């Protein structure tokens, strides 16, 4: 059975992730590859396909979390990070495609110097330096060795041989000799470690898969790294590195034990937050601006709290309650601050901090897409935008890509929000849609965004625009509704909603786009997600316990050529 919504306008693309392909419910698309299973047969993971080994830059949040976990959350990082590159819909994929500019190198150097200076400072050295030198003016090889042996494996995310550790020990000696201070030598050795590509990049190394001739898999420490940054958004902890060194991550029992440990830890919330921050395109808040005359309640504090409001709701629903992912689109539960309460026009008793709350039914709000964190982000500086909001719903929540408008489109009609002849956005867009070049895409975006027109460009509720009543009726792929609550239920029930999450989460985890041959595995994950009642922690567990998660199709190696790189740290002149 092919459902009617598989016939989409020609303007909508999804590259290899075409909705029409994944909307065929009872036809096995992978028949030529893996054969078809009946619905009654036990669901088995398809044969791994794999992708190439990658080098992925640490994101800013991963860098900061790594420093906090290895040293302390109070250690300052005095640097500015370049903005991430979004590729194939995710910043996580862009980390393997973006290069390093001279500015990036300068900022990494500044960050390393600020961290290293703090670690060996009198304030922190008793806590963070694992040994005491005999004298600050005498080189202590034993202490230098202990320092390097303590931090190098954590920073490089693997066990290092004596030969690999020796250059860093020599760097301590050089620093002490030139600056006549042992702690200065430790500082420069630490800078060398933090400037190494093995720290700044997640370099994946592979080995042959003994069970699948011709296929490769990540080695033990690359497994630990991919696993840890997916589940916790930070570096592998000591226990995970120990398990990797012991080869435990290659056994089902050993891997499951580590996965369950990390999911049960407080660090798991950071992994979930990192994924949804990427999925929801929160980096766009860096450029968000609102006309202060039209929206005086908007400021940088509100923008930051709008993001946190969504993330608190997500973690409460998906981790705290272990609820159905689709409930994010119908829940009225939320969190508010005094500043957000002003925008929502809701009382907030708590003077400072967050207060758990619930949107009253008469506010018309249901789901995270009716919070100002979504509504304000996908609007213009001085007005709302049904088109931007509809486009965002298609792309963010349904994984349906809508191309940018043609360069010769006349926007003059929709850019007159105070028009008396066309007082509402629906009126103006109706005029705009008569242009042949625009009609196709607007038919799939506007019916979604117009349902959210009861919320202005900041996200505050309204019933009229320019004195005219707002018609909030709309539709989603054949499902019609008259309110934002109707849209919420339609998103909850749409079959592409869970599939989109599955697809984005897997791509986020492995750092690359999927390939056509992986569609049986995507189908497998979707079915497992459904069988697990759409619980996100269970989905993440399914992904990391699958053989596909560590499978590699290529054989290119990166590690050897970067060993001990970054050691040429310029020494400061002796005062």
Tell me if 33 is assigned to some domain. Answer: no
- Read off the pLDDT band of 42 (50, 70, 90): low
Report whether 324 contacts 529 (CB < 8 A). Answer: no
Regarding whether 399 and 384 lie in a shared domain, the answer is yes
Structure tokens at 213: 């001739």
Tell me if 153 is assigned to some domain. Answer: yes
Question: What residues form DSSP beta bridges with 334?
Answer: 357
Please, what is the angle between helix 252-264 and helix 536-545, to 10°? 150
**Percentages of the chain per state (helix, strand, coil), in multiples of 5:** 50, 5, 40
Domain-ending residue, one of 427, 461, 493: 493
Contacts of 65 (CB under 8 A, 6+ apart): 232, 233, 234, 235, 270
Average pLDDT over residues 409-438: 64
**Cα–Cα dist 76/338, whole Å:** 30
Regarding whether 139 and 64 lie in a shared domain, the answer is yes
Please, what is the angle between helix 238-245 and helix 220-232, to 10°? 150
Report whether 538 contacts 506 (CB < 8 A). Answer: no
Tell me if 46 is assigned to some domain. Answer: no
Contacts of 369 (CB under 8 A, 6+ apart): 329, 375, 393, 397, 452, 487, 488, 491
Regarding whether 327 and 280 lie in a shared domain, the answer is yes
Each residue of 508-520: b (16+ CB within 10 Å) or e? bbbbbbbeebbbb
Regarding whether 310 and 422 lie in a shared domain, the answer is yes
DSSP string, 42-87: PP-PPPP--B---EEEPPHHHHHHHHHHHT-TTS-----PPPPPPB
Q: For 345-399, how does the pLDDT look when each residue is reduced to its tens digit (9 = 90+)?
A: 999 999 999 999 999 999 999 999 999 999 999 999 999 999 999 999 999 999 9
Regarding whether 239 and 131 lie in a shared domain, the answer is no
Cα-based angle 60, 500, 56 (whole degrees, multiple of 5)? 30
For position 574, what pLDDT does the model report?
35
Tell me if 160 is assigned to some domain. Answer: yes
Tell me if 97 is assigned to some domain. Answer: yes
**Cα–Cα dist 362/355, whole Å:** 20
Domain-ending residue, one of 203, 235, 251: 203
- Read off the pLDDT band of 410 (50, 70, 90): low
Q: For 277-329, how does the pLDDT look when each residue is reduced to its tens digit (9 = 90+)?
A: 999 999 999 999 999 999 999 999 999 999 999 999 999 999 999 999 999 99
Regarding whether 195 and 147 lie in a shared domain, the answer is yes
For position 518, what pLDDT does the model report?
95
Q: For 153-199, how does the pLDDT look when each residue is reduced to its tens digit (9 = 90+)?
A: 999 999 999 999 999 999 999 999 999 999 999 999 999 999 999 99
Tell me if 25 is assigned to some domain. Answer: no
Regarding whether 445 and 311 lie in a shared domain, the answer is yes
Of the candidates 450, 500, 383, the one whose C-alpha atom is nearest the C-alpha of residue 22 is: 500
For position 102, what pLDDT does the model report?
92
- Read off the pLDDT band of 256 (50, 70, 90): very high
Regarding whether 388 and 438 lie in a shared domain, the answer is yes
- Read off the pLDDT band of 426 (50, 70, 90): confident
What pTM does this model have? 0.89
Provide the domain count of the chain. 4
Regarding whether 229 and 110 lie in a shared domain, the answer is no
Tell me what the pLDDT averaged over the chain comes to. Answer: 87
Regarding whether 375 and 304 lie in a shared domain, the answer is yes
Tell me if 567 is assigned to some domain. Answer: no
Range with top average pLDDT, 18-22, 40-44, 251-255: 251-255
Report whether 457 contacts 382 (CB < 8 A). Answer: yes
For position 431, what pLDDT does the model report?
61
Checking if the pLDDT of 563 tops 70, the result is no
For position 23, what pLDDT does the model report?
38
Report whether 528 contacts 522 (CB < 8 A). Answer: no
Regarding whether 537 and 442 lie in a shared domain, the answer is no
Report whether 498 contacts 523 (CB < 8 A). Answer: no
Of the candidates 155, 157, 152, the one whose C-alpha atom is nearest the C-alpha of residue 242 is: 157
For position 543, what pLDDT does the model report?
98
Tell me if 182 is assigned to some domain. Answer: yes
Least confident of 281-290, 425-434, 469-478: 425-434
Regarding whether 67 and 163 lie in a shared domain, the answer is yes
Which range marks the domain in which residue 109 is found? 57-203
Structure tokens at 396: 């963010």
């Amino acid at each position: 059975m092919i459902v009617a919504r598989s016939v989409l306008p020609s303007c909508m693309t999804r590259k290899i992730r075409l909705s029409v392909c994944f909307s065929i419910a009872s036809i096995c698309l992978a028949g030529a590859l893996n054969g078809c299973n009946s619905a009654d047969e036990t669901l088995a993971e398809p044969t791994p396909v794999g992708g190439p080994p990658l080098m992925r830059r640490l994101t800013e949040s991963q860098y900061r979390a790594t420093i906090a976990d290895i040293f302390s959350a109070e250690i300052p990082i005095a640097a500015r990070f370049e903005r991430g590159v979004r590729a194939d819909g995710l910043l996580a994929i862009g980390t393997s495609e973006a290069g390093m500019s001279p500015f990036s190198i300068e900022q990494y150097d500044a960050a390393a110097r600020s961290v290293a200076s703090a670690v060996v400072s009198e304030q922190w050295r008793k806590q963070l330096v694992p040994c005491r030198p005999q004298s600050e003016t005498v080189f202590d090889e034993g202490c230098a060795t202990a320092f390097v042996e303590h931090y190098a494996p954590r920073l490089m995310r693997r066990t290092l041989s004596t030969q690999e550790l020796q250059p860093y020990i020599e760097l301590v000696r050089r620093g002490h000799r030139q600056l006549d201070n042992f702690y200065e030598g430790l500082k420069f050795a630490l800078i060398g470690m933090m400037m190494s590509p093995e720290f700044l990049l997640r370099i994946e190394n592979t080995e042959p898969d003994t069970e699948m001739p011709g296929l490769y898999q990540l080695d033990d420490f690359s497994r630990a790294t991919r696993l840890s940054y997916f589940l916790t958004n930070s570096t592998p902890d000591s226990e995970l590195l120990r398990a990797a060194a012991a080869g435990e991550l290659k056994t089902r029992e050993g891997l499951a034990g580590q996965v369950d440990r990390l999911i049960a830890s407080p660090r798991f919330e950071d992994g979930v937050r990192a994924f949804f921050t990427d999925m929801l395109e929160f980096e766009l808040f860096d450029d968000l601006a609102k006309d202060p005359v039209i929206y005086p309640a908007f400021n940088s504090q509100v923008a930051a709290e709008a993001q946190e409001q969504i993330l608190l709701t997500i973690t409460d629903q998906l981790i705290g309650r272990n609820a159905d992912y689709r409930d994010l689109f119908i829940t009225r539960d939320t969190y508010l601050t005094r500043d957000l309460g002003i925008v929502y026009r809701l009382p907030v008793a708590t003077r400072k901090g967050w207060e758990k709350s619930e949107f009253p039914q008469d506010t018309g709000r249901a789901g995270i897409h009716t919070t100002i964190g979504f509504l304000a982000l996908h609007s213009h500086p001085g007005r709302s935008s049904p088109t931007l909001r509809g486009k965002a719903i298609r792309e963010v929540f349904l994984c349906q890509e809508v191309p940018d408008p043609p360069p010769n489109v006349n926007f003059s009609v929709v850019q007159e929000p105070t028009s008396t002849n066309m007082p509402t956005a629906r009126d103006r867009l109706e005029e705009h849609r008569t242009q042949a070049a625009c009609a196709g895409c607007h038919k799939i975006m506007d019916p979604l965004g117009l349902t959210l027109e009861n919320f202005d460009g900041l996200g505050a509720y309204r019933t009229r625009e320019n004195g005219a009543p707002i018609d909030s009726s709309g539709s989603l792929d054949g499902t019609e509704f008259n309110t934002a609550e109707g849209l919420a239920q339609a998103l909850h029930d749409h079959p592409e909603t869970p599939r989109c999450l599955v697809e984005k989460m897997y791509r986020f985890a492995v750092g690359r786009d999927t390939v056509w041959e992986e569609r049986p595995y995507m189908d497998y994950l979707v079915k497992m997600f459904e069988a697990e009642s759409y619980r996100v922690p269970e989905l993440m567990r399914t992904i990391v316990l699958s053989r596909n998660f560590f499978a590699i199709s290529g054989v290119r190696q990166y590690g050897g050529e970067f060993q001990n790189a970054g050691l040429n740290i310029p020494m400061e002149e002796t005062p």
